[in-house]
Structure formats: C-alpha cells, structure tokens
Copies of this chain bind each other. A is one copy, B any other.
Amino acid sequence: MTFDQWTRLVLDRVESALDHYLPAADVQPAPLHDAMRYAVLGGGKRVRPLLCHAAGELTGATPEALDAAACALEMIHVYSLVHDDMPCMDDDDMRRGKPTVHVKYDEPTALLVGDALQSQAFITLTSDVVDAPRQASLVRELALASGSIGMAGGQAIDLASVGHSLTREQLETMHRLKTGALLRASVRMGAVAGETPSADTLAALDKYAAAVGLAFQVVDDILDVTADSATLGKTAGKDAKDGKPTYVSIIGLDASRALAQQLRADAHAALEPFGARAQRLAELADLVVNRVS
C-alpha cells in the first residue's frame, strides 16, 4: 500500500468513527450536537489520528481501538481550536476554510461545544473497545496532555507571551506544551492501545514525537508568512499581526527551514530501532515537514 493509499484509508476510517462517536444531530440538545459536529466533521489535516494509527502498528493495536483513541485526540484538538478562536482569545473568523464556531453560531455555543467535546473524548475512550487497564492508561495520557501541564498550559504561556520578546528556549517550552503535548500523546496512545509497549519503545516514540511536534510548529510559523489564507483555511499572517513570537521572527525564515529539515532527520533517527514497522511514522514526519497548508 502506498502512503497516499494508507492515509486515505485511515482518514476514511476516522471520519466514520468520528461520526459514530459524536452524538447524532437529532439527539437532544440538538443545537449543541449540531454545532459539535460542525466543528469536528469534514475538515482538518487529522495529523493526530494519523500519528495514532501509525504508532499503533508497532504494538499490534486493533483498528477499532485506534479509531477510538484517534477520535478522542481529534475531539480534544478541535475543542482547543474552538476555544482558541473565541473573541477573548485569538478572535479568529475562519478555521479549516469555514466560519469559526462562534461566528457560525455564537460565543456561548462555542464555549459549550469546546467543553462538551472535551467530555466526549473521555466518553469515547471508555466505550469498551479496549479493556479497562488500556482505557485507564489512554485516559491518563490524554488528560495529562490536555491539561495545565500540557496543551492548556501551553496556551496560557502563549497568551502571556503576546507582545513580549521570547528567547528561543522559551518559545520551545511554549510549543512543547501547546501543540507538542497532544502530538506526543497521539503517538503514545497509538502504542498504548495495543500490546503494552516497553519503556524503550515509549522513550523512542517520545523522541520521535518531540522532533515531529517541534517541526510541526516551525512549519506552521513558516506557512503563516509564506502561504495565503485560502490555502491555509485560516487567516494567514495572523501571528505577525498579533505580535506573537514565532520561529521566523526569532531565527528568520531560512534558519527556520533548515531547522525543520534537521527535526525531520531527528525524527527518522528516533525510529531506527523499529525498522520497517515504523514506515508510516517516518512518512508522517516527512508529511509534517513538507506540507503546504
């Protein structure tokens, strides 16, 4: 199977699974469920679900178990986008090529959509496609990656940094929490969904995820200044306009491009112990670095 065929297969599976794990649009309260589905379905690069499915190949996780983990990850990611786009945060009107939730509906709905999607992620993980010990492990990985020492903590640092100059180290800490924690959880949860991974396996996956996570952010910063809004599906040039520190603003565009390639090499190196079984993870590192949107 080519990489393109594999991604298409996984994306189709995950889209169906999201449709299944989200409450139907006619379940009460229907307006909230409609908005949750609007936010989640039919858009996004689904990087986290792809990483999760790819990592699960290392530990023989079932596709059904990976679907549940992937959906939970995507629900957390989307909730963070919905809240992040709200007027009191980044105040963005466009996401994934569509009006953001508070624009399409209203602010209270956006707040509740985010809140309910976080709960829905944990409902999804405990829906009995894996045994109880795996459910508990998956919940803990996702909760730690989402909370104050993970994604939410990174957003707090991000907000506090607007208009301030950050060192490269401070910028890295912020991204390690804000986007890195959930990308790391994507890889770890894929592994945890199968046969219990060894400490060595998890350590190698952490190294891989750290490189891919940082690469993802460096490329995001590059695209913010080089791509247009239509290609990105969100407002381009926003970070510069908002005075947010980025890799491009701190080390420049050329050094950022070189850094992305270095991180891609680091990610490949971390996968060496796994040999050909890690093919999809290696290809995903390339996808993250070479993406144009």
Residues of A within 8 A of B (CB): 23, 27-29, 31-33, 36, 79-80, 83, 86-89, 107-109, 111-112, 114-116, 118-120, 122-123, 125-126, 132-133, 135-137, 139-140, 142-144, 146-150, 152-153, 155-157, 159-160, 177
Residue of B nearest to A157 (CB): B29
* A116 x B152 contact (CB < 8 A): yes
Contact indicator A146/B132 (Cβ below 8 Å): no
B89 & A150 in contact (Cβ 8 Å cutoff): no
Cβ contact within 8 Å between A148 and B119:
yes
Q: How many protomers of this protein does the assembly include?
A: 2
Counting chain B CB atoms within 10 Å of each CB, which of A33, A146, A149, A160 scores highest? Answer: A149
Q: Which residue of B lies closest to A156 (CB)?
A: B32
Q: List 24 A-B contacts (CB under 8 A).
A: A23-B148, A23-B149, A28-B153, A29-B148, A31-B160, A79-B115, A86-B88, A86-B111, A88-B111, A89-B108, A108-B159, A111-B111, A112-B152, A112-B155, A115-B115, A115-B146, A119-B143, A119-B144, A119-B146, A122-B140, A126-B136, A132-B135, A135-B136, A136-B139
Asked if residues A123 and B144 are in contact (CB atoms below 8 Å), the reply is: yes
Q: From known contacts A132-B132, A156-B29, A157-B29, infer whether A88 and B108 are also in contact, taking CB-CB under 8 Å.
A: yes
Selected from B114, B150, B156, the residue in CB contact (under 8 A) with A119 is B150
A150's nearest neighbour on chain B, judged by CB, is B119
Measured CB to CB, the nearest residue on chain B to A145 is B119
Q: For A116, list chain B residues within 8 Å (CB).
A: 147-148, 152-153
